[in-house]
Amino acid sequence: MAREDQDFWSLEQVEAKQNALWKRQRDYVASHSNFYRRLWGSANPPKKVRDIPILPFTTKQMLRNAQESHPPFGDYLAAPLDVINRIHRTSGTTGRAINMALSEKDALLNAEVGGRSLRACGFGPGHVALHCLNFQMWMGGLSDHMVMEATGAASIPFGVGASELLIRTILDLKATAIQCTPSYPAVLETVVAEKFPKLKPRDLGLQIGVLTGEPGLENPAFRERVEATWGFRGRNAYGMSETLSNIAGECDYDHNMHFVGLDVLYHELINPESGESIKWEQGAVGELVLTHLIKDCQPLVRFRTRDIVEITSTERCACGRTGARFRVMGRSDDMLIVRGINVFPSAVAVVLNSFSELSGEFQIRLKGAGPIDRLPIEAELAAGQAPAELLAATVEKAIRDSVGASATVALVPAGSLPRTEGKARRIIREV
């Protein structure tokens, strides 16, 4: 049976598969990873996946420390150097970049599971799909391109930059799908307006837009705007470099994402502050914690993703998939506390995107270590929009009513905030 079929297995079948894989993986990690031998001490790892939560957490800072003391891959490298087949590096968005080693089996597994994610999004044979993420060592580059190829689509490894050439490529090859960051369509809209004045973005004929790598489609106003402008079905996918680059994706029946990696990743929810376990059930909110059930080079056990998710359904979907559906609310390390109120940048984005007078681009500029009494927000005006009287005060009230925190909004001219082909930076911390 093809591994993809496991996305449609009963949860009892999935758990049996998880336990069979963990039986091998726990022994492998215990005997090959100096990092986990040190972390676990004399404790024996449990035999069943449901008991994995008795083990200590692994954090990204622990991985950074391991690589600093045992360069370049850290002492959690559990395979000899001659097994390494591919090397990547994290983007370093939240700190010093981490080097990642993959065996041939690791790379194939990443493509296989990631292919399920993009197939849920609608990619497959017959599509001509553009991969427009950074190829410079980031997992979102080559490894995610292999993910796209695993869907059966005719895949174009375009990368980032040369946006005018990208528009011509879409037209010449009659591309029907694209994967890029949510920030990138705004860049392309400017190129279309300047270089192809007779065309509108929707005239390019794209049918599916998988916008991933940063928050975006979780925001209904942003989704509505980008779909109306481009005429494609916006689809969200989710993953992370340290585990597997794609482990979830939207199907046609729900804007929330299916967890498609159940058979190879054990998943938990925890309270991000106390570390206590939270039951995996509909309505639960917590930090996602993942454990590799298969991994050669850098296996991780109870890795804290720092992503705060809400489980929106655990029932079998109309598409037939059994993996729980969830939405990403934000990152715990991006969460700001404003007079005791927890605020995610994605919640601010929802408010700003509800105003037609604004472009949706913004930055939160923080000075010093805090505490934060009011959110200092620079919000960009939409093209051709002059600062309307009382607009800033109206936006401030909307943020207060929706988010619960006070803000000071400064309106800046259209096009004045930086556009990026990679991940957009919403929080700017100034010393």
Domain membership of residue 75 (yes or no) is yes
Domain membership of residue 140 (yes or no) is yes
> What is the CA angle 423-244-56, rounded to 5?
105
Domain membership of residue 350 (yes or no) is yes
Q: Examine the domain organization and report whether 324 and 378 are in the same domain.
A: no
Q: What is the pTM of this model?
A: 0.82
The span from the CA of 232 to the CA of 247, in Å, is 22
Q: Where are the beta strands (DSSP E) in 70-181?
A: 84-89, 99-103, 128-131, 154-157, 177-180
CATH number of the structural domain spanning residue 226 = 3.40.50.12780
What lies within 8 Å, CB to CB, of 256 at 6+ separation is 250, 312, 313, 325, 326, 327
Q: How far is CA 158 from CA 89, 99, 163, 388, in A?
A: 19, 24, 10, 40
H or E element, residue 427: strand 427-430
The span from the CA of 276 to the CA of 235, in Å, is 32
* The two structure tokens encoding residue 133: 């993420």
In the prediction, which pLDDT does 369 show?
A: 67
Q: Examine the domain organization and report whether 313 and 347 are in the same domain.
A: no
Domain membership of residue 271 (yes or no) is no
Domain that holds residue 353: 336-430
Domain membership of residue 272 (yes or no) is no
Closest CA relative to residue 231, chosen from 197, 188, 201, 254 = 201
Q: Examine the domain organization and report whether 402 and 422 are in the same domain.
A: yes
Q: Examine the domain organization and report whether 404 and 325 are in the same domain.
A: no
The span from the CA of 283 to the CA of 325, in Å, is 11
Specify whether the CB–CB gap between 108 and 238 falls below 8 A.
no
Q: Examine the domain organization and report whether 319 and 395 are in the same domain.
A: no
Q: Examine the domain organization and report whether 163 and 33 are in the same domain.
A: yes
In the prediction, which pLDDT does 344 show?
A: 79
Domain membership of residue 347 (yes or no) is yes
Q: Examine the domain organization and report whether 105 and 18 are in the same domain.
A: yes
What lies within 8 Å, CB to CB, of 426 at 6+ separation is 334, 345, 348, 349, 362, 363, 364
How many domains does the chain fold into? 2
Closest CA relative to residue 84, chosen from 60, 105, 65 = 105
Domain membership of residue 125 (yes or no) is yes
In the prediction, which pLDDT does 95 show?
A: 60
Sign of CA dihedral 286, 315, 211, 219: negative
In the prediction, which pLDDT does 93 show?
A: 55
Q: Examine the domain organization and report whether 327 and 341 are in the same domain.
A: no
Q: Examine the domain organization and report whether 374 and 318 are in the same domain.
A: no
Tokens 């496991």 identify what position? 6
CATH number of the structural domain spanning residue 371 = 3.30.300.30
- Cis upstream peptide for 371 (omega within 30°): yes
Q: Examine the domain organization and report whether 184 and 89 are in the same domain.
A: yes
- Tens place of pLDDT for every residue, the chain, 431 residues? 344 578 899 989 999 999 999 999 999 999 999 999 999 998 889 999 999 999 999 999 999 999 999 999 999 999 999 999 999 998 665 568 899 999 999 999 999 999 999 999 999 999 999 999 989 898 989 999 999 999 999 999 999 889 999 999 999 999 999 999 888 998 899 999 999 999 999 999 999 999 998 778 888 888 999 999 999 999 999 999 999 999 999 999 989 999 998 999 999 999 998 999 999 999 999 999 999 999 999 999 999 999 999 999 999 999 999 999 999 988 777 778 787 777 878 788 888 988 989 988 899 988 876 678 889 999 999 988 887 778 999 999 999 998 888 899 999 998 898 876 556 678 887 75
CB environment 334-355: b (16+ within 10 A), e (fewer): bbbebeeebbbbbbbbbbbbbb
In the prediction, which pLDDT does 2 show?
A: 45
In the prediction, which pLDDT does 295 show?
A: 98
- What single letter denotes the amino acid at residue 167? I
- Residues found in the chain: 431
Q: Examine the domain organization and report whether 340 and 220 are in the same domain.
A: no
Q: Examine the domain organization and report whether 380 and 408 are in the same domain.
A: yes
In the prediction, which pLDDT does 423 show?
A: 61
Domain membership of residue 273 (yes or no) is no
